[in-house]
Amino acid sequence: MARLRPFAGYLVLAAGLLLVPAVFTRVPFYTMSTAVLMVLLAIGALGLVPLTGLARQVSIGQAAFYGIGGYTSALLSTRAGLDPWWGLLAGAALAAAVAWSLGTVIFRAQGHYLSLATLAFGLALAAVVNELPATGRNAGLSGLPPLHVFGVSLTGDLPIYWLGAGLLLIGTVAVHLLVRSQLGSALTAAGDSPVAAAAAGIDIAALRRTAFVVSAVLASVAGSGYAHWFRYVDPSMLGLLNSVQLLIIITVGGRESVWGAPLGAFTVVTLTEVVRGRLPGSGAEAELTAYGIVLVLSLLVLPRGLAGLPAALRRRAGAR
């Protein structure tokens, strides 16, 4: 049974992703552009499962990697005229290199410096991108070409959605394999008890760095996807709110499980749309307030997130 369960999970995820276009185009509330946003954010949040869920390291700077992906794609495709896929790959490679270097130094010291370092790094990068002429300053870069598959260019929400859904499935399988591998067990051990893990001969710093690199690559891929979907990037991509949003997604969805990313993305994007569309005269203020309440409540009431809900209910039923 335990061996079957991941396959059941994949089936549910694949079926859900397949059904989304049929459902979202027929109900009044959801649109295909919210669906694209959901899959892209789910890809970005997926990387936080090994990092925050297993290794218990909090990054508040994922938007920096999101932005690195977006801006690398934008610069390579508009200025250098390269194929968009090269931009996506180059962005991922650059994000990996940055995370690897940052991780090498930051994880030398124990403690909770990653949250501070990623926060400061993200804001510093956003401030630089906002000032540099090469990145278009606060106007950003526009005129990005769309991504293409087998010679068909992906314009419009539906084709991009299928691509994003495909990438999300691949990413989920990859992160799931990582979580269930020996590396995943080591990450869990390092997260649960760093002292015991270190005593068992596990190189905690290298482990955390690996998880950080994985999270950076996934955030960068999501950023590139977003850039070629929107055909435009600006410094708000690197904003603190984007980092916090990914953190909320994985916390609400369940940071210890790969299913937490799609669950959380669906919930948080839905919440954003509800707040923006349904509350009278609302803007960023209601959105921030809602995010804050949801984040605090989910941590207090449902620390394992929505993905941990079945197990929590079963435990409660068993206790009775």
In the complex, the residues that contact another protein under the rule CB under 8 A are 52, 56-58, 60, 102, 105-106, 108-113, 115-117, 119-121, 123-124, 127-128, 130-131, 194-195, 198, 204, 240, 244, 247-248, 251, 284-293, 295-296, 299-300, 303
Is there a contact between 225 and 19 (Cβ–Cβ < 8 Å)?
no
Q: Which is nearer to another protein, 300 or 319 (CB)?
A: 300
Smallest distance from another protein to CB 121, Å: 5
Smallest distance from another protein to CB 313, Å: 21
Q: Which is nearer to another protein, 127 or 313 (CB)?
A: 127
Q: Which is nearer to another protein, 177 or 195 (CB)?
A: 195
Which one-letter amino acid corresponds to residue 238?
L
Smallest distance from another protein to CB 7, Å: 30
The angle, 0 to 180 degrees and rounded to 10, between the axes of the packed helices 32-46 and 260-278 is: 140
Smallest distance from another protein to CB 47, Å: 16
Both tokens of 219, joined, read 């955030």
Q: Which is nearer to another protein, 204 or 218 (CB)?
A: 204
Is there a contact between 250 and 261 (Cβ–Cβ < 8 Å)?
yes
Is there a contact between 225 and 132 (Cβ–Cβ < 8 Å)?
no
Residues 6+ apart with CB under 8 A from 251: 264, 295, 298, 299, 305
Smallest distance from another protein to CB 101, Å: 9
Q: Which is nearer to another protein, 118 or 220 (CB)?
A: 118
Could you say which DSSP state residue 238 is in? G
Is there a contact between 225 and 24 (Cβ–Cβ < 8 Å)?
no
* Kind plus residue range of the DSSP H or E element containing 314: helix 309-319
